[in-house]
Amino acid sequence: MSIEGLLLDLDGTLYVGEEAVPGAVEAVELLKASGLALRYLTNTTRMPRRAVAGRLRELGFDAGEGEIFTPARAAARLIGEGSCLPLVDGSLLKDLEGITLCEDAPGFVLVGDLGEGFTYARLDAAFRCLMDGAELVALQKNRFWRTQAGLSLDAGPFVAALEYASGKEAVIVGKPAKDFFRIALEDLGLEAGEVAVVGDDAEADVAGAKKAGLLGIQVRTGKWRPGAEEREADLVLDSVAGLPGALGIRGGEG
């Protein structure tokens, strides 16, 4: 596989819970040292880019805020100078600077991952805004994610509830939306066929990458399960630790 750049998924790919995937830190060091352009992609809807970069550094990865791509960054571009009712974690508001946040007649309802904050009252308020004309935007629509306690509901089921109630289809600005990958490619300065996405999610990472014209590499960590769809992947690895070796980079594990 001949590529010039990599877009690396985070949760489930580089780390699971509070621990880096064995060999992942060393693998990323080798990939960077080889000269490959590299960016970190995440569908997180609870942490600003600065915090994501800080967490990666705590786990041993060399990452700067400018290397992080999140759905909030894409949402800010989409909404622009408009207004929105944000159903997002408060810590994420910094990445939405420039957008007018309001509860009275917003132009958009923006949904992220609120966890236990997805109360009936908040969802009902968002529903009324949608019925009054607001557009529905979702940072992502993943069905579930892995926590230390096991698989847990992600934002997708709540987005689906608002879609069903309002009759409106959400605009998705996180993986696997094509625009999300497009923004990352623009930053890399590379064409889609020169870049591979590496991730544990067969839908959001691999299938999303393929639909956007990128290569897709599936790792069998994180939310991957035996029997998961792998046909679309250009390469399947037990973990990201094997990626340097698979790409012919000396020092990687085969």
Higher pLDDT, 156 or 228: 156
For 189, left (φ over 0), alpha (ψ -120 to 50), or beta?
left
Banded model confidence at residue 251, pLDDT cuts 50, 70, 90: low
Strands 68-69 and 108-111: unpaired
Residue of 65, 12, 18, 19 whose CA lies nearest to 43: 12
C-alpha dihedral, 171 to 181 to 150 to 110, nearest 10°: -30
pLDDT per residue over 104-120, tens digit each? Answer: 999 999 999 888 899 99
Banded model confidence at residue 97, pLDDT cuts 50, 70, 90: confident
| Lowest-confidence region among 17-26, 42-51, 112-121 | 42-51
Instruction: Say yes or no to pLDDT of 20 above 80.
Output: yes
Ordered structural domains, the chain, with CATH:
5-43+175-246 (3.40.50.1000), 79-172 (3.40.50.1000)
Question: What integer best gives the mean pLDDT of the chain?
Answer: 91
Residues 15-26, mean pLDDT to the nearest whole number: 95
Residues 117-129, mean pLDDT to the nearest whole number: 96
Rounded Cα distance between 60 and 89, Å, is 26
What pLDDT score was predicted for residue 45?
A: 78
What pLDDT score was predicted for residue 252?
A: 43
Banded model confidence at residue 74, pLDDT cuts 50, 70, 90: confident
**% of the chain beyond a pLDDT of 90:** 64
pLDDT per residue over 190-222, tens digit each? Answer: 999 999 999 999 988 999 999 999 999 999 999
Residue of 82, 77, 92, 97 whose CA lies nearest to 42: 92
Residue of 91, 86, 27, 21 whose CA lies nearest to 54: 91
Residue with the two structure tokens 């693998």: 27
Banded model confidence at residue 43, pLDDT cuts 50, 70, 90: confident
